[in-house]
């Protein structure tokens, strides 16, 4: 493989759409996740469509102890890493279930810190490459509807910000991706406003452009940057009374 991109959580809808964008641009790919059979099937399809090398590899975001060995076992060191795994979880259940809030926090934050710490160190040694982490607008301000999920994403956004600051000048770029609503399997049971909801393909195009145009932080859809600017500007004494 030449300058492959590692996609963590490659079975997600956004990740699968992004794999096609990267494949069309002739990046070789590692597709990482727990459903190895499905990932290998996707890898074969990408190889045929785009004449690239693609491989499915097993990765468990919650098996923190395995992350360093996982990364170092890749045949060719990745040039880029896309972090696309996450879980919405059951926010109501998380108010009373330790198991549920731990799942949300560890999947959306602890697992990300674990694998990205390894990836960042290896990329820094190579003095080139990129990390693109998919966070969420939910991390921009806590809301009653999803504050456990949002707090994990807020932590991830801050981690990526700090990592970007640390690696500036090293040849490694760090991109924070903040999707708003995206119509995926994870949100299929939610009623989402059509004008504010992206398809996985739209989100993937925005992420690909952020990678190629060397951006630091993007919102997808773009309008979410302004929506969240307004939401963040609402005084707390008013915000705490709102249901949004």
Binning pLDDT at 50, 70 and 90, where does residue 187 land? Answer: confident
Element counts in the chain: helices (H) and strands (E): 10, 9
Question: One of 30, 50, 109, 149 is an active-site residue; which one?
Answer: 149
Binning pLDDT at 50, 70 and 90, where does residue 186 land? Answer: confident
- Residue 171, both tokens: 């040849």
Residue 76 pLDDT exceeds 80: yes
Report the DSSP beta bridge partners of residue 177. Answer: 134, 218
Domain covering 4-240 in this structure, CATH number: 3.40.50.720
- Residue 147, both tokens: 């504050």
Residues sharing a CB contact under 8 Å with residue 25, sequence separation 6 or more, in sequence order = 208, 212
pLDDT in tens, 123-150: 999 999 999 999 999 999 999 999 999 9
Active site residue 149: yes
pLDDT of residue 57: 98
- pTM of this prediction? 0.95
């Amino acid at each position: 493989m030449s300058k492959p991109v590692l996609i963590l959580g490659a079975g997600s809808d956004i990740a699968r759409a992004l794999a096609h964008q990267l494949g069309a641009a002739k990046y070789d790919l590692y597709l990482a996740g727990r459903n190895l059979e499905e990932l290998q099937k996707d890898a074969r399809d990408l190889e045929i469509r785009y004449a690239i090398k693609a491989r499915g590899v097993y990765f468990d975001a919650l098996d923190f102890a395995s992350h360093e060995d996982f990364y170092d076992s890749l045949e060719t060191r990745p040039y880029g890493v896309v972090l696309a795994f996450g879980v919405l979880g059951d926010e109501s259940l998380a108010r009373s279930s330790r198991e549920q809030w731990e799942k949300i926090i560890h999947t959306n934050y602890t697992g990300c810190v674990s694998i990205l710490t390894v990836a960042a160190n290896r990329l820094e040694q190579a003095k080139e490459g990129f990390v693109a982490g998919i966070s969420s607008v939910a991390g921009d301000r806590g809301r009653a509807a999803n504050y456990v999920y949002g707090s994990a994403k807020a932590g991830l956004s801050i981690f990526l910000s700090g990592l970007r600051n640390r690696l500036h000048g090293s040849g490694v770029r760090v991109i924070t991706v903040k999707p708003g609503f995206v119509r995926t399997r994870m949100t299929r049971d939610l009623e989402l406003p059509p004008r504010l909801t992206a398809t996985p393909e739209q989100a993937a195009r925005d992420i690909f452009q952020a990678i190629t145009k060397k951006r630091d932080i993007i919102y997808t859809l773009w309008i979410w940057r302004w929506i969240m600017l307004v939401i963040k500007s609402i005084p707390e004494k008013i915000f705490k009374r709102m249901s949004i």
